[in-house]
Amino acid sequence: MTYYCNICLPPVLQGNTLSFIDLDLDLVHREGVWTVVDEDEFLENQQLYDYPTDVIKRARASLLKLQQRIAQQQFPFDGFLDPFIPTVLQMKRRGNDT
């Protein structure tokens, strides 16, 4: 099972549309190992888009908090959702993922 966690700005709900800004920094779980990816994109885009210092600090803090939740097996990394994964995958295969 692969997990992909995006570090982003808080989502915004406007009417029926939920949107967010992805800050490129991601934490990925593949083959039993968690890895920070796209660090290079995060650094590059800090310059390109002139990320404010507080956004950079919050992104780093969010990544750290996520890593701590995983290490401490806190929701949703506590196995609570594991029984639902086969059902979701089956729905996706049938095209019911709307």
Please indicate whether residue 89 or residue 61 has the higher confidence score (pLDDT): 61
Residue whose tokens read 């995060």:
42
- How much is the average pLDDT of 28-33? 94
Banded model confidence at residue 95, pLDDT cuts 50, 70, 90:
confident
The pLDDT mean for the chain works out to 92
**Single pTM value for the model:** 0.81
User: Would you say residue 97 has pLDDT above 60?
Assistant: no
User: Would you say residue 50 has pLDDT above 80?
Assistant: yes
User: Would you say residue 98 has pLDDT above 80?
Assistant: no
Question: Strands 33-37 and 12-14: what pairing?
Answer: unpaired
